[in-house]
Structure 1
Amino acid sequence: MKKRLFLVLFLGVAPFLMAQKAPLENLHFLTEEFPPYNYVENGQLVGSSPEILAALFTQLKAPQTLQEVKVLPWARAYSQLETDPWACLFSTTKTKEREPLFQWVGPISLARNVVITLASKHLTLAPGVSLAQSNWTFGAVRDDAGEQLLIAHHVPMAQISLTTNALQALEMLNSGRIDAFAYDESVIDWLARSRGWETSRYQVAEVLETGYHYFAFNLKVPAEVIKEFQTALDHFKTTGQYQQILTKFGVVMPHS
């Protein structure tokens, strides 16, 4: 009789436990090549954001591992974030234009989006002249914050050449095919150093926006899942391990 009662109770509780656990299991994590925040090295996903995410997986007892994270071109990953109801994309810059489109967990690191030019060309904006009035040709990664910020600054699309990744745009700048490149300053520096290019060959012509990187979730992800991740991140940021990760990759800590 006791065994039968236990079985009935277990069968009654089991669906509830599975329902409680299911949301975390359903999440799909996406990223791109965006060093030093997230990138592939020797076949492994590394960077400050993956290490933070791995710590959150452990803290939340989530079943996912970094090996399951999909590394995609940014435009493809961004499109999947918009359409997949269980998608999470990192490291995503939270901008005014993007804020209502997704749910956000963070901040996890500082984001400084700039327009760079070749120092040898001595391109500068005269006082009172905007980017839209410059007649420069710009490079940007498709669907990246740089492209969206150029549009927000009223730069005509006819003056913007879109690429699938940052290295393509940087090479276009080096070869003179574009006058300027809009992107995250830290990533530009990392890419230049990794190719043996002197960072002094570039100059910041304009700071588009200083903000933060986040984990961006599809709007259909349950609110309780977002709250779980935010609570876990807030706790993790109080630990020494969080600062160690940022220091390891030369990443600046967010102030909020």
Structure 2
Amino acid sequence: MGILSWRGLACMAGLLALPAWAQTPMRFVTEPFPPYTFAIDGRPAGPMVEVLQAACARLAWSCSIEVLPWRRALNMAQRGEVEGIFTVVDSPERRQYFHVSPPVIEGRYVLFARLGSSYQYAGDPQTLAGRVIGAYGPSATALTLEQLIEGVPRARSEVEPDNRTVVRKLAAGRYGEDGLALANEAVAQHLMREDGVRNLQPAGLVKAFGYSFGLTRQSVDLAQAQALAKTLYELCRSGRTAELLKPYGLPASACVKP
């Protein structure tokens, strides 16, 4: 038997040794969410995309990624029409539908006010009484805001279809003289630079968190979810995750051992 035949047999043996799901195409959906995820000439890009691609390569998964409006992406993932979705924040609501991976990128939910406002959030939700607060949803941001103002008298949320709308409406005073917005700090700052918005300022940190990948429970089993978690941990421990995030100026989450 020739050398090539032996190599062919060895390759076949390696494939047979892999779990059946390792050879299954893994379809992921995400949203236009710069600086974390976006599309360049129709192709998915951004730090979360690069980390997922690195993980898929190590796992020998055949992964595809499609950038869609968030509501459509979320509905597809919740119905089990795709295998995964990102970015997600670990929460009871997300765990109903997804195996949530360890966090990959650190993020911060920050309240923003109009320039010149004296308001500063220092951890007491009652200081939000009587204010209108904009947020993007359905999203973890909107869920965080609802939890924040629960029981706060006359505080009201306005959920918008995207972060750009939130930034523009706050800048235009559409939430009132004392209006605020809750947003991911990096996303809001990116939009402000892109749109030339200069009359907004941070007004206090509400929550620090991490962005993760979600694998739909309908079509992905626990073994696959554990394999992704283990691979993300290895990428983090090796420094590869931080290396991928460095060009974007975003901090990696702490390495979470599965």
- TM-score normalised per structure 1: 0.80
Structure 1 CA distance for aligned equivalents of residues 231 and 139 of structure 2: 27
Change (3 A) 1:112 1:125: closer
Structure 1 CA distance for aligned equivalents of residues 165 and 192 of structure 2: 12
Matched residues, percent identical? 22
Q: Deviations over 1:92-115 (max 9, x none)?
A: 122355445421112101021122
- Tell me the equivalent position of 1:245: 244
Structure 2 CA distance for aligned equivalents of residues 156 and 76 of structure 1: 34
Q: Deviations over 1:152-183 (max 9, x none)?
A: 12169993222221111111111111222212
- Asked if 1:144 is matched to 2:139, the reply is yes
SS in 1 for 2:34: coil
- Letter in structure 2 aligned against 1:205: A
Change (3 A) 1:158 1:134: closer
- Asked if 1:214 is matched to 2:209, the reply is no
- Asked if 1:120 is matched to 2:119, the reply is no
- Tell me the equivalent position of 2:42: 43
- Tell me the equivalent position of 1:177: 174
- Tell me the equivalent position of 2:69: 73
For residues 3-22 of structure 1, the aligned pairs below 5 Å read: 17=16, 20-22=19-21
SS in 2 for 1:106: coil
- Tell me the equivalent position of 1:94: 90
- Tell me the equivalent position of 1:3: none
- Tell me the equivalent position of 1:230: 229
Does the 8 A contact of 1:26 with 1:86 survive in 2?
no
- Asked if 1:83 is matched to 2:79, the reply is yes
Indicate the larger mover: 174-183 or 45-54: 174-183
Q: Deviations over 1:113-160 (max 9, x none)?
A: 1221112343446995626x5222122112111110111121699932
Q: CA offset at residue 194 of structure 1?
A: 2.2
Structure 1 CA distance for aligned equivalents of residues 171 and 161 of structure 2: 17
Structure 1 CA distance for aligned equivalents of residues 100 and 248 of structure 2: 23
Calculate the aligned-residue CA RMSD, in Å.
Answer: 3.0
- Letter in structure 2 aligned against 1:108: V
- Tell me the equivalent position of 2:51: 52
Unmatched 5+ stretches in structure 1: 1-9
Q: CA offset at residue 191 of structure 1?
A: 1.6
Change (3 A) 1:117 1:234: same
Structure 1 CA distance for aligned equivalents of residues 161 and 232 of structure 2: 30
Does the 8 A contact of 2:123 with 2:206 survive in 1?
no
- Letter in structure 1 aligned against 2:126: S
SS in 2 for 1:36: coil
Q: 2:160 aligns with which of 157, 160, 163?
A: 163
Change (3 A) 1:77 1:48: same
Structure 2 CA distance for aligned equivalents of residues 185 and 159 of structure 1: 21
Q: CA offset at residue 41 of structure 1?
A: 2.7
- Tell me the equivalent position of 2:5: none
Does the 8 A contact of 1:48 with 1:249 survive in 2?
yes
- Tell me the equivalent position of 1:202: 200
Structure 1 CA distance for aligned equivalents of residues 122 and 104 of structure 2: 35
Does the 8 A contact of 1:31 with 1:74 survive in 2?
yes
Q: CA offset at residue 52 of structure 1?
A: 0.6
Structure 2 CA distance for aligned equivalents of residues 126 and 105 of structure 1: 31
Does the 8 A contact of 1:140 with 1:182 survive in 2?
yes
- Asked if 1:255 is matched to 2:254, the reply is yes
